[in-house]
Structure 1
Amino acid sequence: MMHLIPCKEAATAEDIAQMFLEHVWKLHGTPKRTVSDKGTTFNSKFLKALYKSLQINPSFSTAYHPQSDGQTEIKNQWLEAHLRPFINHRQSDWVDWLPPAEFAHNNARSEATGKLPFEIVYGHSPVISPLLELTRSPDADDRAKQLAETIQEVQASIKWAQEHYKQANTGKPPPEFQPGDKVWLLASNHIAASQQKV
């Protein structure tokens, strides 16, 4: 199960510990092990002492080789690819897209297990209201509709990506394109004026 928690680059070790308490520990309890980079925040005296007290075994990815923490790298790539179509051109609203992205990810069937991460953790699928019931509050109706549309968009994006990766792994040669063909453009190398770290 993935949790997407926005934080500022200037977050201290105490800030990280508080975020962990508020967003992870309350749902899952104390982990046996954590994996992070060797940054000063995660390698601080405070977190070392806290981990020792809670009997958490910290693991650190190798400097200049963040791919040694493969699971995190895969999730970061997934998050970047799935947020890109939704955030505005100034990249100032990415935090708003974290909750629906987290929900969609945790409710996408895993090819490895055949189950939803939500289902594995909680023992059942989440309740998703397929039909919206109108109320006497236009603002509430608009918000419910917006939430339903956002979840559908993110789930459609996940489904497309799963099919795309499935085809990429079949060993088939890449398709040939002709002038005038319509194709999807991968804009990951497009440099925006302002980027905030996710």
Structure 2
Amino acid sequence: MERLNQELKQYLHTFINDRQTNWAKWLNIVQFLYNIKQSLATGKVPFKLTRLYLPRMGVEPSKSKNGTAESMVKDMKSVLDKTCKALFKTAEQMKDKAEHRHSKAPDYKVGDLVYWIKEVKTNVVELELPK
């Protein structure tokens, strides 16, 4: 969510005036621009995921599509499956990175010496551990 906010803020800075008083009138355009940009997490364009086509920008010729409802459903399922796989892959990568950053806690056994600094709560104490 933080990344989304950063991107939207960056888009808004492109359009708003120097006093930042007209940002609300640009929100629809900013949302549209965000939705036609390929997502880093999924590798897909959000607009295409929800509607199965990219919007016309006014300069390219339109393409005619006369697909049946069944083929459209099949296409949509395929796109959603690929998107889910991409999201799960991204989640796994993020989990691996988070686990890699955390160091494993030492394996203390009964009888090991530690320094008790103070009692924080009834069952929680602050310790200084020997190196």
TM-score band, normalised by the shorter chain?
0.3 to 0.5
Taking structure 1 as the reference length, the TM-score comes to 0.28
Structure 2 length normalisation: TM-score?
0.41
* Higher share in strand: 2
Q: Whose relative contact order is higher, 1 or 2, with alpha carbons under 8 Å and at least 6 apart?
A: 1
